[in-house]
Each structure stands twice: as structure tokens, then as C-alpha cells.
Amino acid sequence: MPPRTVKALFESREKRFIITARINNRSIAAHTNNSGSMLGLLRPGREILLSRSDNPKRRLAYTLELVREDGFWVGVNTQIPNRMLKLAWEKSLIPEFMGYEAFRSEAVVGQSRIDSCLEGPEGKMWVEAKNVTLVEDERACFPDAVSKRASKHMEELMALARNGHRVACFCLVQRPDCKCFGPADFIDAQFARVFRQAADSGLEILAYKAIINEAGIGLGQRLPVYWG
């Protein structure tokens, strides 16, 4: 979690990447990097946590980090899964990452750009990271809105798998109220189909809960995959 954070009350989502919030009875605009719907989370009057940047070049100083939901925090910053992915590799927290000696972010392969590429004596492992904030009936689900981009990522990983590469999808569930993970076929049936095809083609699904509080975010337990 960034060092400078402040609690506020959510007011509205003005544009795809802009919300308004109230701090000490003053309404301010804040940035959100989450392009999803954040279904069920962004309700007027809810407590949120904003981080503040001192970068004078930024148009909006505040960024939305967490949303309070029924007594717990939900992480909505979509940069966190990639940061957690690298930390998990550095700290050897995920067994599948053991033995890889180098880590590249935003790795280019052909015409595609994959979130991360791990390299070791036995070859490469290409990993896409996804932020999960939607839970239905104790099942964490992705995506929370139709996402052609997410389907394209799975197709790119399948192509890499066909060429003999190891591929994975790291799904970080940034809320505690779930027991398993699966694709949100009730929201994006196309993604669910491609995700299943990718899994059948060798995609390794690494779904984990995040441990979240106002001080920071850690890696919690691994979740089983439930296809429905």
C-alpha cells in the first residue's frame, strides 16, 4: 500500500477512470485504474481508501485503492496483481515459480505483450495477472464486465502453449469472502469459453486470495478452480 493514504466516502463514478469522493466535507476527483464495472462495490456513501501522489505532473493527486464492503476491504487497484506476482517470485511464495532465475515485466513476444515472463534453465513461463473483485455465492469470478481484451490475452497464451511454452494466469482475489475461483460465464460467456480452452491447452491457473488491511496487501491462501 502506498505510504500516504486517506479515508473518504465514495460519491460517484464520473468517467471510466475518474470518480468523485468526499474528504472532510470536500468533494474531490480521484483516479481509478480499474476499467471494469466494479460490480456491486461503487455505491454512494461507501467508505473508500485513496492514495495521494506528490507528482506535480499528475492531473489528479488521488488514486482509488480500496472499497469497504460489509466489514472488509476490497482491493480495486489493478496494478496490485502484477506487483504481487513479482513479489511472489522474489520470495518463492508460489511453487510453480520455483527454479526461474529472471523476471521480466511487460514482456514482448511477437506482436503481443504479456504481463510477465519468468526465465530459467528449463525455459520460459509466460504469466498474465488478473485482478478479481467480484464474488457470487462464495465463488470469486472474473471478469466483472465483458472484456474482449481478457479473451485476447487467453488466446495469446494458448498460442504460446502450442509452441511449447509454459503459460499461466495469476488471479489475485482482492477480497476475503470466497472459497473458490472461476470464470464469470454469467457476465462474459466468450471469456469463459476461451479460458476453459486455454486451461485444456495447458494454461496453469494460479488463483490466490489477497490479505488486505489499511497497512498493506499480502498473499493469502490458494483457491481451487470451480468451473460451474
Query: pLDDT tens, 90-128?
Result: 999 999 999 999 999 999 887 779 999 999 998 999 999
In the predicted structure, residue 67 carries a pLDDT above the cut 80: yes
User: Is 169 within 8 Å of 156 (Cβ atoms)?
Assistant: no
At 3 the pLDDT is 67
d(CA 68, CA 214) in angstroms, rounded, equals: 11
At 223 the pLDDT is 98
pTM: 0.94
Question: Which position has the grid cell 491457473?
Answer: 205
Query: pLDDT tens, 126-177?
Result: 999 999 999 999 999 999 999 999 999 999 999 999 999 999 999 999 999 9
Cell numbers for 185, please give them. Answer: 460465464
In the predicted structure, residue 228 carries a pLDDT above the cut 90: no
Main-chain dihedrals φ then ψ at residue 192, nearest 5 degrees: -60, -40
What structural domains and CATH numbers belong to the chain?
Answer: 5-73 (2.40.50.580), 80-222 (3.40.1350.60)
Q: Using CB atoms within 10 A of its CB, is residue 206 exposed (0-12), middle (13-18) or buried (19+)?
A: buried
Instruction: Calculate mean pLDDT across residues 50-75.
Output: 93
Read off the pLDDT band of 2 (50, 70, 90): low
Helix then strand then coil, % of the chain, to nearest 5: 20, 45, 35
User: What is the share, in percent, of the chain residues with pLDDT greater than 90?
Assistant: 89
Cell numbers for 92, please give them. Answer: 518463492
d(CA 111, CA 136) in angstroms, rounded, equals: 36
